């Protein structure tokens, strides 16, 4: 597995990381702990050194899982976690008060069985707390040795600039994929200018780009895709054209749709490191295999031309979650 540097921060990670959320939260029942540990350790064996979690995944149980799984090789990996919700529950209001950030850091260190957090993200920008105060609090934690790098998630270019002026932002984590390209308008140019890395989550469109989901798919009652407009039966049917295009390109390269989708992200910038998540070992191997798929300029042009003919329909979040995306 190749390594990449997240911007000018010096933070080096595997080109493809592992988003660990789905092992505990969001996509149906939590994975058995032993299975989750096996999957995380298998990822490490395949060269993955970048693991993403958050206190609110569970809440709390995902950090514990990640901490236990990575304990044998803690010094060889980068662990990212997040703060930003009241009492660590994403159903609650945002909370990035300095005292809350400090409390989360201490609790996350315990759950992760470590003495430092490699990358500490603000999960969502909190309009009730100046972003300068957030950056300043993380700066203090960095000076104390409890945190190595500061990150933000779903932040606007303006908020990134304001925070970066107080404490350099190592990485932004936001959704980015072949079916959600909004970051290309103002966020990616800002990151490039400031030397900040980019960590796309949901690089496979929450599973849709793999081709494993169609209009007839039913989700577990605890799967949050049930409330995502883009995953309504009608919109899944309308968006099938994108999956068809991916399939044609993948077949021509002897790859899978997922591998083309991830390889496309890797080809955009050398400081991009996507974090696909999965609960299945065969999907993990498929995703990691994308690092070996190199798309030529011709491939990228063909993908771009095909995408120009497709309109993806449906919002990526329901209205109450969309309000939490920084503008």
Q: Please, are residues 18 and 41 in contact by the beta-carbon 8 Å criterion?
A: no
Q: Which of 104, 68, 108 is nearest to 86 (CA)?
A: 104
Identify the bridge partners of residue 221 per DSSP, sorted by sequence position. none
Q: Looking at the annotation, which residues are catalytic?
A: 57
Q: Which of 266, 274, 263, 217 is nearest to 240 (CA)?
A: 217
Q: Please, are residues 290 and 266 in contact by the beta-carbon 8 Å criterion?
A: yes
Burial 242-254 (b: 16+ CB within 10 A, else e): bbebbeebbeeee
Q: Enter the tokens of residue 31.
A: 């994975």
Q: Please, are residues 228 and 46 in contact by the beta-carbon 8 Å criterion?
A: no
Region of residue 34 (left: phi > 0; alpha: psi -120 to 50; beta: else): alpha
């Amino acid at each position: 597995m190749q390594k990449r540097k997240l911007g000018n921060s010096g933070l080096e990670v595997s080109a493809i990381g592992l988003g660990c959320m789905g092992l505990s939260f969001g996509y149906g029942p939590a994975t058995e702990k032993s299975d989750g540990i096996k999957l995380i350790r298998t990822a490490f064996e395949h060269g993955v050194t970048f693991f993403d979690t958050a206190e609110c995944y569970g809440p709390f149980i995902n950090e514990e899982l990640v901490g236990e799984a990575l304990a044998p090789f803690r010094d060889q990996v980068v662990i990212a976690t997040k703060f930003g919700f009241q009492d660590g529950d994403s159903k609650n209001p945002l909370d990035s008060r300095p005292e809350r950030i400090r409390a989360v850091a201490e609790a996350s260190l315990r759950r992760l069985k470590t003495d430092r957090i490699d990358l500490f993200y603000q999960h969502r920008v909190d309009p009730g707390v100046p972003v300068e105060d957030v950056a300043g609090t993380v700066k203090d934690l960095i000076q104390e040795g409890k945190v190595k790098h500061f990150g933000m998630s779903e932040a606007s270019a303006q908020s990134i600039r304001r925070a970066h002026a107080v404490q350099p932002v190592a990485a932004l984590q936001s959704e980015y994929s072949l079916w959600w390209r909004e970051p290309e308008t103002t966020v990616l140019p800002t990151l490039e200018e400031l030397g900040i890395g980019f960590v796309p989550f949901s690089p496979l469109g929450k599973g849709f780009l793999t081709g494993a989901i169609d209009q007839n798919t039913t989700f577990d009652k605890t799967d949050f895709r049930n409330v995502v407009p883009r995953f309504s039966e009608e919109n899944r049917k309308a968006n099938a054209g994108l999956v068809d295009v991916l399939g044609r390109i993948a077949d021509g390269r002897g790859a899978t749709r997922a591998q083309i989708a991830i390889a496309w992200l890797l080809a955009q910038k050398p400081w991009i490191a996507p974090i696909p998540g999965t609960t299945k070992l065969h999907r993990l191997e498929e995703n990691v295999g994308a690092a070996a798929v190199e798309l030529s300029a011709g491939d990228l042009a063909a993908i771009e031309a095909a995408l120009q003919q497709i309109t993806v329909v449906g919002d990526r979040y329901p209205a109450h979650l969309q309000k939490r995306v920084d503008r």
